Structure 1
Amino acid sequence: MIAMQISAFKTFLAIETAGSFHAAARALNVTQTTVSARIKALEAALGTPLFERGPGGTRLSMAGRQFLPYAEQMMRTWEFVSGDLKASLAGQVPLRLGAQLSVWDPLLVDVAVWLEEVQGTVPFTLNYDHTMNMGEAVARRLLDVAIVNEVPPGTRLTAQELPPERLVLVADRPLRLGQDALPLFINLEFGAEYDAQLHDVLPARRRQHIVLGNALMGLRYLQGRGGMGYFPACMVAEALAAGALHLVQGAPEIHLSCRALHLPDNPALEHIRQVVRGLHEVRGG
């Protein structure tokens, strides 16, 4: 029964990606009749059509658009679960690492490399889905360790402090805060702690801003379009040294708390301790 449901979710997502039942059948290496049967069964279970067909191809219905994020989450969950079981049967304990903020994506890679160097070959999965609720993912055992800025209240999770993230205000041209006209501000929305510190530096009424949720994307936008924004010091160090970016004079640094979140009864606790040690090592703390 579960396998049939997973096949239906996978087929639904394949049609949404490919744009037609025929293209989805090719991508899944099944017949179009099989694709149609799976979707018909899924629509019957949900009690609503998920697709609309027209001259321009197949597109999601309103119900299909509402169902899409649930199907994506179900597939992610299934991949985590099935991957865990396969690895466990092979005598391996996989580590699943995630990060709340995009600024910590490189940190995931750095600690994965450190783990390989120190522990040898360690199976792991790096999760870059920043829409995922990291506290919930750890509590539900979808992730073993999550790097977070804010610890969810009222949980049984263990949070271990890591060196904070230093953010510096940079611009595409020399600026002095309080004296020069401010350019477009690129707001990466790093959470409540960031917002509180940012308000002390740049009150909302004094800044025009654009919101970009990914740090690397925001930096690329700044360098291509111009403007200013708070970015991790390590991320902009080379551009500052080369003169491609400039520190905004008179602007204080912002410090983001950084914590490693995990379950205290996780069976992979020894590996998790190694991960936390690695996070301290690669962050220099």
Structure 2
Amino acid sequence: MYIDHIKTFLEVASTGSFLAAADSLCVTQSTVSARIKALEDYLNRTLFVRKRSGAELTSGGRLFHPHALTVVRAWERARQAVALPEDLTAIVNLGVQLNHWEHIAAPWLVWMDDNAPDVATKIISEYSDSLMRQVRDGTLELAVLYEPQHCAGVVIEPFVTEKLLMVSTSPRQVEAGQVPGYVFVDWGEAFRTQHSLAFPGTSAHRLTVRLGTVGLEHILRHGGSGYFLEKSVQPLIDEGRLYLIEEAPVFERPLFLVYQQDMEEEGVLQTALCGLWEVLRNPPTLS
């Protein structure tokens, strides 16, 4: 089987680098080179031109790319389908950005269990770049993530735009420079840019985390401030445990639905999408 070789081809095409592809696939660069060479020998066509700036697809590589996507996605679906128990009719794999397990992933599982009991569900929670790669490669049919990357065979739809509020465990004003107890939650590249423009001179932070829940738990235990999702902190503001820093700018983070285009008309994907929209409109109560 050349599945691993084709996956390697797709990773090199995506990253534009044999080295970056090796890091992403957790293999050596020589393994990546060997797989690409074997694939080129099998197809009797050069797929990449290696330059000092990276690896670029040849005309043959560009022609092969959509077929490579189809092969990998079909293989992943077949592998999962044959493993299904007889009482289940389909499987859907959902990926959710790490900061949204509580608000999206868990309620969606409840909805699917109530409304599609004959569908097997698998859900993973990772960072957006990893989820995007898995949708592209076919191991995920559907994902909810930040900053999607446009690629062949993938549909991207706006899902919801969220607000990020600066809150503190004690009343305070916006301050210039480094603020004791401030936790920088890395909400992605767009947020980093907006934050730097709003607060120049604060490019380095004493404490940086990528999970909002970790940062929020830290300031609740030890005191401090930071930017967090409005829906996470509003109940705590209402309870008097956190204070909104009203002079601080409010940032927005758009969240997207990303799914495989060739599954767009399939019932199981439509059911999963329906569940996500329902969770957004009316989150079920978790017991």
Normalising by structure 2, we get a TM-score of 0.64
The residue aligned with 2:183 is 186
Shift of 1:184: 3.0
The residue aligned with 2:160 is 163
Counterpart CA distance in 2 for 1:200 and 1:281 is 36
Secondary structure, in 3 states, of the residue corresponding to 1:273? helix
The yes-or-no answer on 1:133 pairing with 2:130 is yes
The yes-or-no answer on 1:150 pairing with 2:153 is no
Q: Determine what percentage of the aligned residue pairs are the same residue.
A: 18
Counterpart CA distance in 2 for 1:154 and 1:126 is 22
Counterpart CA distance in 2 for 1:119 and 1:202 is 47
The yes-or-no answer on 1:105 pairing with 2:89 is no
Shift of 1:179: 7.9
The residue aligned with 1:215 is 212
CA contact (8 A) 1:183 1:208 kept: no
CA contact (8 A) 2:128 2:146 kept: no
For the aligned residues, what is the CA RMSD? 3.4
2:222 pairs, out of 222, 225, 233, with: 225
The residue aligned with 2:251 is 254
Shift of 1:199: 2.1
| Cα pair distance change 1:256/1:117, threshold 3 Å | same
Counterpart CA distance in 2 for 1:138 and 1:258 is 16
How many residue pairs get aligned? The number is 216
The yes-or-no answer on 1:172 pairing with 2:137 is no
**Stretches of 4+ aligned residues off by more than 4 angstroms:** 66-70, 78-84, 88-91, 178-181
CA contact (8 A) 2:132 2:148 kept: yes
The residue aligned with 1:56 is none
Counterpart CA distance in 2 for 1:260 and 1:189 is 21
| Cα pair distance change 1:90/1:118, threshold 3 Å | closer
Normalising by structure 1, we get a TM-score of 0.65
Task: For structure 2, list consecutive stretches of 5 or more residues without a partner in the other structure.
Answer: 2-22, 28-74, 283-287
Task: For structure 1, list consecutive stretches of 5 or more residues without a partner in the other structure.
Answer: 2-65, 71-77
Shift of 1:86: 0.9
Counterpart CA distance in 1 for 2:176 and 2:197 is 16
The residue aligned with 1:11 is none
